[in-house]
């Protein structure tokens, strides 16, 4: 039986190579030849990694970072040195003393640009810095759908929409890999919450999974061709993602023909034989797993015939193949190089500016007039720097952190996270933009004092921050601390109050009606302060659009309370004073039922429930307005749509026309983003933009077929400025059609 499954796997690898597209010439033959020359010990050594910081004797070529796997020098295979790299080359807990890197804006910010070219440039920059630091495997490409708006890691993920997420992450991964190194995409799959992430069993039906979270991965794989896919911590339908045969063997390797290797997340391997047979190729960071499952135990399992030799060969071959395909064997990569941090900071600033979203602007409060003389800046540590998210993605920014605070929490976040500020103070940047103005600062700790200062100013700018971290979710969507009270007090004192949000996701805004202007800056990275000042002053026109829905409150969500909250709290209570929460082991099993929302993640949920959000997906203002006309569609195997966009205002601006189709999905009419363009227009300028629609976005997934099925009919299509908007409408004629998974 086991032998049969190994043979099937081998066959699927061959098939994979055919369907994945032409690899660089000779990659497969070279991989085969190399693996043939490897000894059994070398193969076993290749299928796991250690954490260099915890290794008793560290090899000379190891870099202190997330993972290290020895190479095979006699065969030209270098060691694999992996680092986190979602938002720049990370350096958590300052493991490599004072080793800094360019801090990019959060993934939400990057996605707010709706700009694939920008995502590619950001990825290329991360990859270049990593390579210069002697790393060759990037743990980048977080493409989990933002299904839970309170997820602590949403700042590491791009969107709630599979097309937007998949395209942007795919481009970013392609940018990373353009440096001749490997990138992952992660965390496969359905890792939508941090609460009890190692214990939660996600329940979902196959069509819903294929049309939502899995589709984001599928599109990212097609765009980015990452060498590796990292598994998720959670279970999916009863089986850990790291040993889930359906996810790894059936979906990823068979249906999607993925030729690279599957690595585990750190500390989420639970077995040797099931994990190996169900598709895991490498045990990452085995140092922190319960056992070195893929070291001696794997060698023994192969010797005993429990894991076929062919499967071990396949594991090794997949790793070797990705190394060859990325170019690891052809470019010496073990020599540290200088980094042009100035040039990279400019890339980070351009990304931050493109990602800032103007949510409200009444009475022309923004941009701030060049004639402004008295401005008060309040709160958010705006005198010091800008906020970043915590966890394994934490970059030690160039210049060193401006401030590091211990988080006010008893969760795992406390173990490895610090509330870290990047040294790019908005206050200094605003002073540079408005040299003739007197700009005072109040820390916002006392709302009455801040309000008194705001009363005499021409304009008050309140910075509100919301820190998120890997390891825990937000308890609610409310801004933490006194932020809501502070904003309300300042707004009551000064009608020209601008709120600048530095958040890791959607937040509620009970004061929204009281303030004329709101700007979502996310965590804007290395030059975030300068980027915010550029937008507020109008030097750069705001061009970001929300890649997620902002709900009015938690009752609008599919799960008003995050599943597992009670179970995790109970386990933490039992351990109080004895051990840290991060080592929780006895959380009672619990499930997160994703059959409730199914494929209707984000704006789709709001549409089918007829709920009005606070701000819809795709929303964002600028300092001009646009007109749309001449929408036309062409049906066919690859349907297209085009529309003319005109800048009808007096200043230049960036339009992001979005096309949504309404598809009948299991009895419901569901809107789906099917394409968009980002287009810069001078006043009065018109341009026609066109999109080609991926037929899967007009289809439903049918497991019986198996594959995608398009029903014959007329599909309504709108072009709008966000998911709740229709500037022009048309209908697509679609013919019945079936597509492979």
What beta strand segments (E) does 448-541 contain?
459-466, 497-503, 517-520
Q: Which is closer to ligand BGC, CB of 89 or CB of 457? A: 89
242 binds ligand BGC (CB under 6 A): no
Site membership for ligand BGC, residue 186 (CB under 6 A):
yes
Cβ closest to ligand BGC, residue 156 vs residue 597: 156
* Intra-chain end-to-end CA distance of the chain, in Å: 26
Q: To the nearest whole angstrom, how small is the minimum distance from the Cβ of residue 318 to ligand BGC?
A: 19
- What are the b/e assignments for 10-42, b being 16+ CB within 10 Å? bebbeebbeebeebeeebbebbeebbeebeeeb
Q: How many whole angstroms separate alpha carbon 62 and alpha carbon 177?
A: 21
Tell me the number of residues near ligand BGC by CB under 6 A: 7
Closest C-alpha to 272, from 236, 238, 315: 315
For the sheet with 707-710, list strands across it: 700-702, 707-710, 737-739
- Of 250, 265, 313, 563, which is the active-site residue? 265
- The token duo for 231 is 């598994």
Q: How many Å apart are CA 117 and CA 110, to the nearest integer?
A: 11
User: Please, which residue, 142 or 598, has the CB nearer to ligand BGC?
Assistant: 142
Compute how many other C-beta atoms are within 10 angstroms of the C-beta atom of residue 188.
29
Name which of residues 125 to 184 contact ligand BGC (CB under 6 A).
139
Q: Which alpha helices (DSSP H) does 405-527 contain, by range?
A: 413-416, 426-433, 447-455, 483-493
d(CA 624, CA 28): 53
Nearer to ligand BGC, 109 or 184 (CB): 184
Nearer to ligand BGC, 66 or 72 (CB): 66
Q: How far is the CB of 197 from ligand BGC (least distance, A)?
A: 8
Site for ligand BGC in 21-80 (CB under 6 A): 66
Nearer to ligand BGC, 140 or 717 (CB): 140
Residue 84 binds ligand BGC, judged by CB under 6 A? yes
Q: Give the whole-angstrom CA distance, residue 536 versus residue 521.
A: 11
Among 171, 250, 265, 313, indicate the residue that binds ligand BGC (CB under 6 A). 265
Q: Which is nearer to ligand BGC, 265 or 465 (CB)?
A: 265
Shortest approach of ligand BGC to residue 266 CB, angstroms? 4
Residue 156 Cα to chain centre, angstroms: 4
Q: Which two tokens stand for residue 37?
A: 């020359």
Closest residue by Cα to residue 395 from 141, 138, 104, 118? 104
Please tell me whether residue 392 binds ligand BGC under the rule CB under 6 A. yes
CB of 221 to ligand BGC, least distance (A): 17
CA-nearest of 546, 547, 542, 466 to 509 is: 466
By CB under 6 A, is residue 473 in contact with ligand BGC?
no
Between residues 472 and 597, which has the closer beta carbon with respect to ligand BGC? 472
Residue whose tokens read 């297209």: 640
Buried b (16+ CB within 10 A) or exposed e, 266-284: bbbbbbbbbbbbbbbbbbb
CA atoms of 660 and 603, how far apart (whole Å): 11
| Active-site residue flag, 281 | no
Q: Which is nearer to ligand BGC, 88 or 639 (CB)?
A: 88
> Minimum CB separation from ligand BGC for residue 172, in Å?
15
CA-CA distance, 583 to 635, in Å (whole number)? 55
> Contact between 430 and ligand BGC (CB under 6 A)?
no
Q: 87 or 498: whose CB is closer to ligand BGC?
A: 87
The CB-of-177 to ligand BGC minimum distance in angstroms stands at 17
Residues β-bridged to residue 441: 377
Which among 203, 240, 246 has a CA at the least distance from the CA of 595? 203
DSSP 75: G
Report the site for ligand BGC in 601-630 (rule: CB under 6 A): none
Q: CB of residue 65 vs ligand BGC: minimum separation in angstroms?
A: 8
Residue 670 CA to residue 666 CA, distance in Å, equals 10
To ligand BGC, the closest distance from the beta carbon of 394 in angstroms equals 10
Per CB under 6 A, 266 contacts ligand BGC: yes
Across the beta sheet with 640-647, the strand order is: 626-634, 640-647, 686-692
Taking the C-alpha atoms of residue 728 and residue 680, their distance in angstroms, rounded to an integer, is 20
Pick 282 or 540: Cβ nearer ligand BGC? 282
Which of 145, 146, 135, 52 lies closest to 90, judged by CA?
135
The alpha-helical segments, DSSP class H, found in 106-160 are 107-112, 116-132
Which residues in this chain contact ligand BGC in the complex, by CB under 6 A? 66, 84, 139, 186, 265-266, 392
Active site positions, annotated: 265
């Amino acid at each position: 039986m086991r032998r049969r499954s190994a043979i099937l796997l081998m066959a699927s690898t061959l098939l994979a190579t055919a369907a994945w597209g032409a690899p660089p010439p000779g990659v497969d033959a070279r991989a085969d030849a190399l693996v043939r020359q490897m000894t059994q010990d070398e193969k076993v050594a290749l299928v796991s990694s250690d954490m260099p910081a915890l290794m008793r004797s560290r090899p000379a070529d190891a870099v202190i970072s997330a993972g290290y796997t020895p190479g095979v020098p006699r065969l030209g295979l270098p060691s694999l040195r992996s680092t986190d790299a979602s938002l720049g080359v990370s350096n958590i807990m300052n493991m490599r003393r004072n080793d800094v890197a360019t801090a990019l804006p959060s993934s939400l910010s990057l996605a707010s640009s709706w700009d694939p070219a920008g995502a590619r440039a950001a990825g290329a920059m991360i990859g270049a810095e990593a390579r210069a630091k002697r790393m060759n495997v990037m743990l980048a490409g977080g493409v989990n759908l933002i299904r839970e708006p309170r997820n602590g890691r949403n700042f590491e993920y791009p969107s709630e929409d599979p097309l937007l997420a998949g395209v942007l992450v795919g481009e970013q991964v392609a940018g990373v890999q353009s440096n001749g190194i490997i990138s992952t995409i992660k965390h496969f799959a359905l890792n939508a919450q941090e609460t009890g992430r190692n214990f939660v069993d996600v329940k979902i039906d196959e069509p819903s999974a294929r049309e939502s979270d899995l589709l984001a991965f599928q599109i990212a794989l097609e765009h980015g061709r990452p060498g590796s896919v990292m598994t998720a911590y959670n279970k999916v339908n009863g089986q850990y993602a790291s040993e889930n045969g359906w996810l790894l063997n059936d979906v990823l390797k068979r249906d999607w023909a993925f030729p690279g290797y599957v690595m585990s997340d750190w500390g989420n391997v639970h077995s040797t034989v099931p994990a190996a047979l169900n598709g895991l190729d490498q045990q990452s960071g085995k140092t922190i797993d319960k056992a070195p499952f893929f070291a001696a135990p794997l060698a023994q399992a192969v010797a005993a015939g429990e894991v076929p030799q062919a499967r071990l060969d396949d594991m090794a071959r997949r790793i070797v193949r990705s190394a060859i395909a990325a170019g690891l064997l052809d470019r010496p990569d073990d020599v540290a190089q200088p980094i042009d941090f100035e040039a990279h900071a400019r890339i980070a600033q351009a990304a931050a500016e493109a990602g800032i979203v103007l949510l409200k602007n009444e009475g022309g409060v923004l941009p701030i007039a060049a004639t402004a003389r008295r401005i008060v800046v309040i709160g958010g540590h705006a005198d010091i720097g800008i906020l970043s998210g915590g966890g394994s993605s934490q970059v030690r920014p160039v210049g060193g952190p401006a401030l590091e605070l211990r988080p006010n929490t008893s969760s795992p976040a406390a173990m490895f996270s610090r509330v870290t500020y990047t040294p790019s103070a908005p206050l200094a940047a605003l002073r540079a933009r408005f040299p003739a103005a007197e700009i005072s600062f109040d820390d916002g700790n006392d709302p009455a004092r801040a309000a008194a200062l705001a009363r005499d100013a021409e304009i008050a700018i309140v910075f509100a921050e919301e820190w998120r971290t890997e390891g825990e979710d937000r308890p609610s969507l409310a801004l933490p601390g006194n932020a809501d009270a502070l904003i309300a007090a300042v707004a009551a004192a000064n009608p020209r109050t601008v709120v600048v949000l530095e958040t890791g996701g959607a937040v509620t805004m009970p004061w929204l009606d009281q303030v004329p202007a709101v700007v979502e800056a996310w965590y804007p990275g290395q030059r975030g302060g300068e980027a915010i000042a550029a937008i507020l002053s109008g030097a750069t026109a705001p061009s970001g659009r929300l890649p997620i829905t902002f709900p009015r409150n938690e009752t609008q969500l599919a799960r008003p309370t995050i599943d597992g909250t009670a179970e995790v709290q109970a386990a933490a209570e039992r351990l109080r004073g004895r051990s840290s929460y991060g080592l929780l082991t006895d959380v009672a099993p619990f499930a997160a039922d994703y059959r409730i929302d199914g494929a209707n993640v984000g704006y789709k949920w709001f549409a089918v429930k007829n709920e009005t959000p606070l701000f819809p997906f795709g929303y964002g203002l600028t300092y001009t307005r646009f007109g749309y006309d001449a929408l036309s569609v062409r049906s066919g195997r690859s349907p297209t749509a085009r529309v003319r966009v005109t800048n009808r205002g007096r200043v230049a601006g960036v339009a992001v026309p979005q096309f949504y189709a309404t598809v009948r999905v299991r009895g419901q009419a569901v809107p789906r983003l099917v394409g968009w363009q980002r287009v810069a227009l001078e006043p009065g300028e018109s341009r026609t933009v066109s999109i080609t629609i991926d037929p899967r976005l007009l289809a439903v997934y049918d497991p019986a077929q198996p594959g995608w099925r398009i029903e014959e009919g007329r599909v309504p299509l709108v072009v709008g400025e966000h998911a709740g908007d229709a500037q022009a409408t048309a209908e697509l004629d679609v013919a019945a059609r079936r597509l492979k998974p």
